[in-house]
Structure formats: structure tokens, C-alpha cells
Structure 1
Amino acid sequence: MLHTLGLWQKPQWRYLPLAFDLLIQPLFYLYTLSLTQTNYRVKEKDWLHFWPMLLFLCHAIWVYTLSLQTNDIMLKDQLAEGLYYNRIKKFEDILSVLSGIIYWVLSFSRIQAYKHWLNTNISNASYPTYSWLRNVLIAMGVLVTFLMINIPLEIFFNFGARHFIQWQFFYFYLAVLVYYLGFTGYQQKDFEVAFQTEKRSAMTLNTEQISTVKEKLLKAINEDKVFLDAELNLNALARQIGVGEGVLSAIINEEFYQNFRNFINEKRVEEVKRKLLSQEYKHLSILGIALESGFNSEASFYRVFKGITGQSPKDFLQKNNSQNPF
């Protein structure tokens, strides 16, 4: 950064300790954990993520403090070389690439695991899917790729001042991502997320048992209309039917070719469509019908309805009213 800003040639700025390259990756990973885990608190072991950055920062402060005594740039460079500044800086750059790859994979895996848990356990359409965070991760993957290509090239080849332009673009791109992440993250609502990554046992039922569970499931859906409960989750439905979560999830996947979230929300949409066309519910607004059908927010209802039917509730209503004017 000092090079790109033209400060490297000024004695008081030369070797200024800015060893924060290893800070961004673990911070982003811990932020991802905080979004997908209720009441997340940084644990004592989490501070281990920052030890590499602290070690490099201590060395950078040491070099800067000792070299600050002279304004002669050549003497500064000789002193820094004697303190292995360039060698350690190259090692830090290599470690930054490895750290970027590792934490990117960890963060991406966490988001994917959360989305899988969400689809197989939670029917509440208001739960955040963090698609925006996944998009940020993809954008950060571009940065990691940039580092993977450019840092080795800089280590083995001397490009002189020509490479500063690409680093200016890098820091501008990074700044935009950080501001976007902060702005979007600030707007997110707090949710009680009971996300867990335990493994479930595979389904070991015979055909007759599967048929029995399927029959109980359809009864709970069609007669008891359990989907009207906006907070319905896989655990509650499994307990009502009398089977394990893993078994119920597998049956929904294999017998209905859907995950739990889509299965329940599809039933809610069918209920909304039925009520929209019924004279009994003419006194209710579209949102009122949605809230009575298991949805608990306007935004999530419109998103799910259009995602399943391919049209908005108003378009559906107008189309069916025009076909059945009387």
C-alpha cells in the first residue's frame, strides 16, 4: 500500500508497520460464524487465528522502530535487510495466499452447510439465506486468485514500478467489498439460529414402513395443516409423526423430490391460492391471507410465491378472476 500511495520514498513512512495481510481472512470467517450461529461470542481458541498476523506485526514494528532513527533511505534499507525484513515479508505474502485459500474454503463451506440445514430443517421463509454473503465470497475468490497469481510472480520476477497499477486496483476492489460487506451486514436482522452440523443416520426403513410414515406425513399436511404454523421445523414435525428427523428428511427428499423447506412452503402457497379464490376470504387482503397460511412476513411471502408459481399473487388473482368472472 505504501508503494501504491507513493509514500515508500519518504523516510518517515518507509517500513511503516502495516502487517495486516493476515487479518482480513480470519475476521471474515469469524463474521460468517457470527451470522450463522445465535449469540456467537469469540472464544479463547478463536484468538489463535490472529497469532500469525500479530507475529508479523511485531517484527514490522521492530524494524520500523529501529530504522526510524535515520532519515537516510540507503541506511534504512541496509538495517531492514539485516533484520531479514524482505525475506520475512515474502514469507508473509506466501502465507497470505495460503490463508486466503483456507479461510475462503472454510467460510464457503460454512455458508453451504447453513443453507443445507436451512432447507432441510426450517420452513420459516423469513430466515436469512445469506445469498449476498455467498456473492461476497465469490467476489473475494477473485481477490484470492489475484494473490495466487501476482504474489509468486513478484517473488520470482522483478516488475519494478509497473505492477503498482494492478495493486491500486486490488486495494480499490478490496475497499468496495469491505464497504459493501459492512453496509449489507449492518442491515441484517437478528435471528435465533439453531444451526448445527451433526450427522444424521441414514434411513433404514422397508417399503411398508416408508409407506406408513408417508401416510402420516400427508395426514399432518392435508388434515392437520401443520404448515399453518410459521415456526414449523423438521424436529417438531418429526416428533408429531413419531419418526426421527433423518428418516423424515430422507422421505421428503426421496418420495417428494424436495427438501423440507420447499415442501412446506409449496403447501403454504397452495393454501394461499385456494383462499385467494374463495369467497370465504374475500374480506382479507393478500397479506392477511398469507399470514393465515403460514407465512410471517410480506417480503418472504412474495418471494416464495413468485419463486414457486412464476407470478406475483396479484397477477395470479387477476388471471384467475378474468377466467372466472362470475
Structure 2
Amino acid sequence: MDKTNLLIIVTVISLFISLFLAFFLVTVKTKNKLSNSIFALFLLITVVDTIEPLFNLMFDGPSNLGMLRNTFAFLQIPVFYLYIVSVCYSDFKFKPKHLGHLLPFLIVNTVLVARFYAVDLASKINFINNRQDMIEIQFTHILFHLQTAVYIIAVFMLLRKAKKLYLENYAGTSVTSYNWLFQFTIVLTVLYLITLFKNIFKFSDYPYISEWIKIGLLVFQLLIICWYLFKALNHPDLFRNIDSKLKLVSDIISEEENSELAVNEEVYQEELLKLKMYMTEEKPFLNPSLTIQDVSAAIQIPVRDLSILINHKLEQHFYDFINTYRIENAMTILRDNAKSKVTVLEILYEVGFNSKSSFNMAFKKHTGQTPTDYRKNL
């Protein structure tokens, strides 16, 4: 089997699976409808980008439709960025400003009008045959890789901020969702780096290497999409959105210093005592979905002040602060001989965790041992 037939077979398989997954994401009933729809759009744009071998079988020679299909690659990474934003923030909605993400796509197609879209077939053929010398093609490739680099950096910065906001304001055990998004972005970054090498070979004296890389990319791309969706669909509670209006404590402190509204130390001590009494007597940490807003409402301390108290004064994320109480409670149960038959799994649910991996990680961070080892060493 030659590489052309292999490329077509791989393309057909990738096309079928991607379209099936996109259809499933659009039609499945879920509260994450917007995020699913954006990811489905990402899959469809990916299909348009990878369908080239089949497109070339149906159309002989260069065409406006074929060039437009090529430029759809400029929509792929912006749509992925919007997907990440929609997953991270619960109040995400499409706004007119998001149309700005179309700008590179529109610029590229505008640049191609004069010497490709608006000319006859012979001129199109000449343009493609001499593409290595065409400034429009060089500009397109430079812009594509620049766009990719900017958006990937933006995604990593967004995930870093979102994770920090989650840790400062939430005590659920779904912080691993940001780790999964981070991993998925790393894999996509590797994919785009391979694409860069593919394009380098495409315009070199070894274009056949580019064809083999293209086959590998199709397979790799399909595998990572299936892996990601398998993980997300099997763990529907993996992604817990945060409110985009939340501010990082570092930003709040900066604003406070600038406005000279710092709360005196005596007030902080009173609030700290009130907080600790509430945690000890009411045990709100037993709620696996506890948020800083819940605690704020219960003890009547403004969220802003409570966030500064825990995240800045105590130098602990709210997430770690709550988990400390959960682990201490778990340690008490593990030391109780009357509860020696209670399993670790039962204990983690009892103290407010809903994930064995996050419980083990938090327990080991707090004690230096796993829960099982801690019980054995008593």
C-alpha cells in the first residue's frame, strides 16, 4: 500500500470519528452545552483542515474553495482558546469582542484576493507552482505560526490564573480538571510543533517527508481527541467552572494598598478566631462542594476580606485550608479503634472528599504518608 492510499484511509477514519464525536457533543443533554458546542466546532474545523487528501480527489487543480479550506487553519486555535475560556468560567457568553478572533483568518483571505481569488485558473496554477517565492504564502505561514504561539501562551496563562482562582475560592476536589486541560494543551502544542516541521519539509527539497508526517499527524490528532473526550465524558463532573468576576488575592492586595483601605491587624485576628470557631463547631468542610462564598455568608465576613485573611494572612489557598480540616478529621477516624473496619474509601467521602486520588494526595501532603500507611503505623 503506497502512502497516498494510506493517507486517504487514515483521513476517512479520522473524518468519520471526528464527525461522530462532534454530532454527539452537539446533541447530548448536558449543562455544559456551550462548551460542548465550541469543542464540536473545533472538531469540525479540524476536519476541514485534515480533509485535504479527499478534497484533492474531488477537485482537480487549485480553486478558491480549496484555498479557503486551507485558511480555515487560522480558526482552529482561536476556537480552542474560546473552548478553554468557556470551560474555566461558568459565566462565559459570546460577545461582539470575540469576533476579533476572526481577524487573522480575514487578513489572510484579504491578502490572497489580488493574486489568487480574483485571477483565472492559469494564474492560480502559476501561483501554486511558484508558492515558495510568493510573498503571500510566506506571510501566511509566518502569521499562522505566530498566531499559534500567541494563543498557546494565552491558554497557559489563562489556565494558570483559573487554577489559582479555584484554589483561592473553592474547596471541591476538581482542581485536577485544570491539570487535565493543561496536559491537553501541552499535547496540542506538540502537535503544532510537529505541524511546523511538516511545513518546513513541505517547502524543502524533501516534500515526501512532509506527506509521511501528515499521516502521523492525522493518527496522533485522532488519538488525543479520543483520549480527551473519553476522559471528559467518563468524568462529567471533572470541569467545575469558576466565576470570571473573581479576582486574585494579589490583585486585591494591590488595590487595597493603592486605596489605603487596609484592615488593621486586630480586625484580622477577630475574623480569624470567628473563622476557626465556625470550622471547628459547624464542620462546613464536610461539604465536598464548599466555596469561600458559602463560608463568607455563614460567618458574615465579606468574601474579599475572608479571601485576604486565608490566602494572604494565613498564606494558604482556601482549597488547602479546607483540606487541612478534612485531613485532620480523617486522621481522627483512622486513629479510632472502634472504626477500624471503616474503609479508606468510606472515610474520604465522610470527611468531604469525592475523589480517592485527591484524598491520597492531600493526606500525603499533610502527613507524609498515605492513609493506609498512616493506619498501619498507629
Normalising to structure 1: TM-score of the pair? 0.75
**1:313 corresponds to which of 368, 371, 375:** 371
Q: Which residue of 1 aligns with 2:275?
A: 217
- Deviation of 1:223 after TM superposition, in Å, equals 2.6
* Aligned counterparts of 1:19 and 1:255: Cα–Cα separation in 2: 51
1:57-109 CA-partner distances (Å, limit 9, x unpaired): 6858x9489766x7xxxx75336689999332222112112211221122112
- Deviation of 1:145 after TM superposition, in Å, equals 6.2
State yes or no: 1:25 paired with 2:77.
yes
Q: Which residue of 1 aligns with 2:220?
A: 176
Q: Which residue of 2 aligns with 1:112?
A: 160
Higher relative contact order (CA 8 A, sep 6+): 1
Q: Which residue of 2 aligns with 1:281?
A: 339
State yes or no: 1:123 paired with 2:175.
no
> Normalized per residue, which structure has more helix?
2
Q: Which residue of 2 aligns with 1:272?
A: 330
CA contact (8 A) 1:269 1:305 kept: yes
Relative distance call for 1:216 and 1:194 in structure 2 (3 A) is same
Relative distance call for 1:173 and 1:146 in structure 2 (3 A) is closer
- Matched residue SS, 1:22: helix
**1:236 corresponds to which of 286, 291, 294:** 294
Taking the TM superposition and a 5 Å limit, the aligned residue runs for 1:33-52 are 33-38=85-90, 42-43=94-95, 45-50=97-102, 52=104
- Matched residue SS, 1:193: coil
CA contact (8 A) 1:286 1:313 kept: yes
CA contact (8 A) 2:167 2:320 kept: yes
Cα RMSD between the aligned structures?
4.0
Relative distance call for 1:221 and 1:76 in structure 2 (3 A) is closer
Relative distance call for 1:79 and 1:108 in structure 2 (3 A) is closer
The one-letter code of the counterpart of 1:138 is I
Relative distance call for 1:134 and 1:124 in structure 2 (3 A) is same
5+ long unaligned stretches in structure 2: 8-51, 257-261
Taking the TM superposition and a 5 Å limit, the aligned residue runs for 1:135-154 are 135-142=183-190
1:121-165 CA-partner distances (Å, limit 9, x unpaired): 1101135432132133334445666788997x89xxx97323663
Relative distance call for 1:250 and 1:39 in structure 2 (3 A) is closer
Q: Which residue of 2 aligns with 1:323?
A: none
Relative distance call for 1:286 and 1:159 in structure 2 (3 A) is closer
* Aligned counterparts of 2:343 and 2:129: Cα–Cα separation in 1: 74
- Matched residue SS, 1:34: helix
The one-letter code of the counterpart of 2:71 is A
The one-letter code of the counterpart of 1:91 is F
Normalising to structure 2: TM-score of the pair? 0.66
The one-letter code of the counterpart of 1:239 is A
**2:105 corresponds to which of 53, 57, 72:** 53
- Matched residue SS, 2:146: helix
The one-letter code of the counterpart of 2:224 is Y
5+ long unaligned stretches in structure 1: 321-326
CA contact (8 A) 1:97 1:147 kept: no
* Aligned counterparts of 1:149 and 1:183: Cα–Cα separation in 2: 24
CA contact (8 A) 1:32 1:107 kept: yes
The one-letter code of the counterpart of 2:273 is E
1:278-324 CA-partner distances (Å, limit 9, x unpaired): 1343453322222221123444333433443343322221222xxxx
* Aligned counterparts of 2:189 and 2:128: Cα–Cα separation in 1: 33
Decide which structure has the larger Cα Rg and report it. Answer: 1
* Aligned counterparts of 1:198 and 1:44: Cα–Cα separation in 2: 22
* Aligned counterparts of 1:53 and 1:131: Cα–Cα separation in 2: 30
- Matched residue SS, 1:103: helix
**1:258 corresponds to which of 308, 312, 316:** 316
